[in-house]
């Protein structure tokens, strides 16, 4: 019987291992983490992350063949396959700060594996890491191995938050990279056999280590590039009277391009896209490829431009001042069906409006007030090193930001409302009631193109939708910088 241990009980480690345990009832799966509160939450009725379908999977296997523990060393010692799914954030200090991946957590996990192991193991890179990280990990493991054999595999994860369980049940592909040696191929087969419990073998792609590592960065860069492409197009649509939804549909029906991932938005967020592109940029630069680095830099720049363009549109539409005006923010998570706020575009938009002295009333169905206040008080890239709430400077943010528990309260007496996350519940709000309770003129700024702009205009709203033809009111306002 194989025993699996996963180091890191986060957004990837938790759901991935829960599905693995469900699909492989004869395998014992233990997810370990240094964070006691996180493990306690995994063992409780209130899981540490919100993900549709996750609770059901966990309930089916927890205590049978799925366990969550802080006893990291014991479970690593006992296991045959060790997944490492720790965080690999952008470095905030030192060499490569602002771009390179911070491998501190990864390296400490690797050293711990080497320290406690007394039998041979397959060590699986689940975290997204720079290409050739496996080489460094191999060195750490073999230099400290006391004669034990370690095989390193790269098995990057492609799940998206909000659809993690669905993605894990039916992945487009599973990617496994390993050494081209007999032992390397044997390790690949062992991991392939695990996934083959539920993934058709023809969808399990096996490559060399470097291809697997780089494919993960490449996939995220390609996906983010599509969003920046359609977002750059959205600015041109607004300037010319074209409609970005129609353009995206016309472009996406070309089978070479495809229809998915072409929704114009206030910008992409999440813990992966920006971090992984910055990492890719750094790797290109380190390999003497500045032109390739500059190409990818532009994807991040356009994303920043889109977030600021949106916030500027809000201010310019309201006579170029939002000072003292109440503005409702509907949605703070980086996408619907998650409570995750890492790199959410809402942070940039809110900070910009706060800087213009707006009073924000924020509502999100899943994000806690504490999290919102923390996010709005932090410098960029600080999300991975949260400070305790009491250390957060209260001035400014606490006076200007109010976090409320429903959309109607958020919009009451507001001059404008901004939709920043595409939560389904925002589509079915009673906008007539909202309009009646708002200041006039009442503005809607839809950063996700989820509201019915025609209906809202009939009610009396002035509506801005990303990449759509502008109301005459908005056309008459000064151009957005």
Say how many C-beta atoms besides its own lie within 10 A of residue 178's C-beta: 28
When the beta carbons of 30 and 86 are compared against ligand NAD, the nearer one is: 86
| Residue 261 binds ligand UDX, judged by CB under 6 A | yes
Burial 1-17 (b: 16+ CB within 10 A, else e): eeebbbbbbbbbbbbbb
The correct pick among 269, 331, 416, 467 for binding ligand UDX (CB under 6 A) is 269
Contact residues for 377 (Cβ-Cβ < 8 A; gap 6+) = 392, 393, 397
| Residue 168 binds ligand NAD, judged by CB under 6 A | no
For 325, 372, 406, the CA distances from 412, given in Å and listed in that order, are 12, 20, 10
Residue 431, annotated ligand binder?
no
Question: What percent of the chain is helix, strand and coil (3-state, nearest 5)?
Answer: 45, 15, 40
When the beta carbons of 33 and 348 are compared against ligand NAD, the nearer one is: 33
The correct pick among 92, 108, 211, 437 for binding ligand NAD (CB under 6 A) is 108
H runs (alpha helix) in 318-430: 345-355, 369-376, 397-400, 407-411
Looking up tokens 């920046």, which residue turns up?
228
Instruction: Number of residues interacting with ligand NAD: please give it, by CB under 6 A.
Output: 27
Q: Which two tokens stand for residue 209?
A: 């280590």
| Residue 347 binds ligand UDX, judged by CB under 6 A | no
Looking up tokens 């659809």, which residue turns up?
163
Q: Which residue is nearest to ligand NAD (CB)?
A: 10
| Residue 429 binds ligand NAD, judged by CB under 6 A | no
| Residue 169 binds ligand UDX, judged by CB under 6 A | no
Instruction: Number of residues interacting with ligand UDX: please give it, by CB under 6 A.
Output: 19
| Residue 477 binds ligand UDX, judged by CB under 6 A | no
| Residue 88 binds ligand NAD, judged by CB under 6 A | yes
For 65, 75, 113, the CA distances from 79, given in Å and listed in that order, are 13, 6, 10
The correct pick among 2, 160, 308, 477 for binding ligand UDX (CB under 6 A) is 160
Residue 298 CA to residue 280 CA, distance in Å, equals 12
Q: Which among 272, 284, 350, 418 is annotated as catalytic?
A: 272
Q: Which two tokens stand for residue 430?
A: 């009673």
Helix H or strand E encompassing 424: none
Residue 13, annotated ligand binder?
yes
Q: With contacts defined by CB under 6 A, name the span among 104-112, 192-200, 374-382, 395-403 that binds ligand NAD.
A: 104-112
Q: With contacts defined by CB under 6 A, name the span among 86-94, 221-229, 363-371, 448-456 that binds ligand NAD.
A: 86-94
| Residue 333 binds ligand UDX, judged by CB under 6 A | no
In the complex, the smallest distance separating the C-beta of residue 446 from ligand UDX, rounded to whole angstroms, is 13
Q: Which two tokens stand for residue 480?
A: 């957005």
When the beta carbons of 117 and 128 are compared against ligand UDX, the nearer one is: 128
Residue 98, annotated ligand binder?
no
Contact residues for 58 (Cβ-Cβ < 8 A; gap 6+) = 14, 18, 42, 47, 66
Residue 93 CA to residue 427 CA, distance in Å, equals 42
Query: 348, 267 in Cβ contact below 8 A?
Result: yes
Looking up tokens 């949605």, which residue turns up?
331
Q: With contacts defined by CB under 6 A, name the span among 6-14, 145-153, 373-381, 439-447 that binds ligand NAD.
A: 6-14
Q: Which of residues 244-273 bind ligand NAD (CB under 6 A)?
A: 271-272
Comparing CA positions, the residue from 6, 38, 36 lying closest to residue 19 is: 6
| Residue 212 binds ligand NAD, judged by CB under 6 A | no
When the beta carbons of 345 and 416 are compared against ligand NAD, the nearer one is: 345
Residue 460 CA to residue 442 CA, distance in Å, equals 8
| Mask for 194-233, x = binds ligand UDX (CB under 6 A) | --------------------------x--x---x------
Beta bridge partners of 366: none
The correct pick among 334, 383, 443, 445 for binding ligand UDX (CB under 6 A) is 334
Q: With contacts defined by CB under 6 A, name the span among 110-118, 255-263, 280-288, 437-445 that binds ligand UDX.
A: 255-263
Could you tell which of ligand UDX, ligand NAD, none binds residue 298, using a CB distance below 5 to 8 A set by kind? none
Q: With contacts defined by CB under 6 A, name the span among 18-26, 51-59, 84-92, 246-254 that binds ligand NAD.
A: 84-92
Q: Is 206 a catalytic residue?
A: no
Q: How remote is the C-alpha of 455 from its chain's centroid?
A: 32
Q: With contacts defined by CB under 6 A, name the span among 103-111, 155-163, 189-197, 204-212 that binds ligand UDX.
A: 155-163
Sign of CA dihedral 223, 302, 422, 399: positive
Contact residues for 471 (Cβ-Cβ < 8 A; gap 6+) = 457, 462, 463, 464
| Residue 8 binds ligand NAD, judged by CB under 6 A | yes
For 215, 318, 351, the CA distances from 6, given in Å and listed in that order, are 22, 51, 37
Output the known binding site for substrate: 157-161, 216-223, 256-269, 334-335, 448
Which residues are near ligand UDX by CB under 6 A?
157-161, 220, 223, 227, 261-263, 265, 268-270, 272-273, 334-335
Residues designated catalytic: 272
């Amino acid at each position: 019987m194989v025993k699996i241990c996963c180091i890191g009980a986060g957004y990837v480690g938790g759901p991935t291992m829960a599905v693995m345990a469900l699909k492989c009832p004869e395998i014992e799966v233990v997810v370990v983490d240094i964070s006691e509160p996180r493990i306690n939450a995994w063992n409780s009725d209130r899981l540490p992350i919100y993900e549709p379908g996750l609770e059901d999977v966990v309930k089916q296997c927890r205590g049978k063949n799925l366990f969550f523990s802080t006893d990291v060393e014991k479970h690593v010692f006992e296991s045959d396959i060790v997944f490492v799914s720790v965080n690999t954030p952008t470095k905030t200090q030192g060499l490569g700060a602002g771009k390179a991946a911070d491998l501190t957590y990864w390296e400490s996990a690797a050293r711990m594996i080497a320290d406690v192991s007394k039998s041979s193991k397959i060590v699986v890179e689940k975290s997204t890491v720079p290409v050739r990280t496996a080489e460094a990990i191999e060195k750490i493991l073999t230099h400290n191995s006391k004669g034990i054999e370690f095989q390193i595999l790269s098995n990057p994860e492609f799940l998206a938050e909000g659809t993690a369980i669905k993605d894990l049940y039916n992945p487009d592909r599973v990617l496994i990279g390993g050494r081209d040696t007999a032992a390397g191929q044997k390790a690949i087969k062992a991991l392939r056999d695990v996934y083959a419990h539920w993934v058709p073998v023809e969808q399990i792609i096996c490559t060399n280590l470097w291809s697997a590592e780089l494919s993960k960065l490449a996939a995220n860069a390609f996906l983010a590039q599509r969003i920046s492409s359609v977002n750059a197009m959205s600015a041109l649509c607004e300037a010319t009277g074209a409609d970005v939804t129609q353009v995206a549909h016309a472009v996406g029906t070309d089978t070479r391009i495809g229809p998915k991932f072409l929704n114009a938005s206030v910008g992409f967020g999440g813990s992966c896209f920006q971090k992984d592109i910055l990492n890719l940029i750094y790797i290109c630069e380190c390999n003497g490829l500045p032109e390739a680095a500059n190409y990818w830099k532009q994807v991040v720049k356009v994303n920043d431009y889109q977030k600021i363009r949106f916030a500027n549109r809000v201010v310019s539409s309201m006579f170029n001042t939002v000072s003292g005006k109440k503005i409702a923010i509907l949605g703070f998570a980086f996408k619907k069906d998650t409570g995750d706020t890492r790199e959410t575009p809402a942070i940039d938009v809110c900070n910009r409006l706060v800087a213009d002295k707006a009073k924000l009333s924020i509502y999100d169905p899943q994000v806690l007030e504490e999290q919102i206040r923390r996010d709005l008080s932090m410098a960029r890239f600080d999300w991975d090193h949260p400070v305790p709430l009491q250390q957060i400077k209260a001035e400014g943010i606490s006076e200007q930001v109010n976090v409320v528990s429903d959309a109607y309260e958020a919009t009451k007496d507001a001059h404008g409302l901004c939709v920043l996350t595409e939560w389904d519940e925002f589509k079915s709000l009673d906008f007539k009631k909202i309009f009646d309770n708002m200041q006039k003129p009442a503005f809607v700024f839809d950063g996700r193109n989820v509201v019915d702009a025609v209906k809202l205009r009939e009610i009396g709203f002035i509506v801005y939708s990303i990449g759509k033809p502008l109301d005459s009111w908005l056309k008459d306002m000064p151009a957005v910088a």
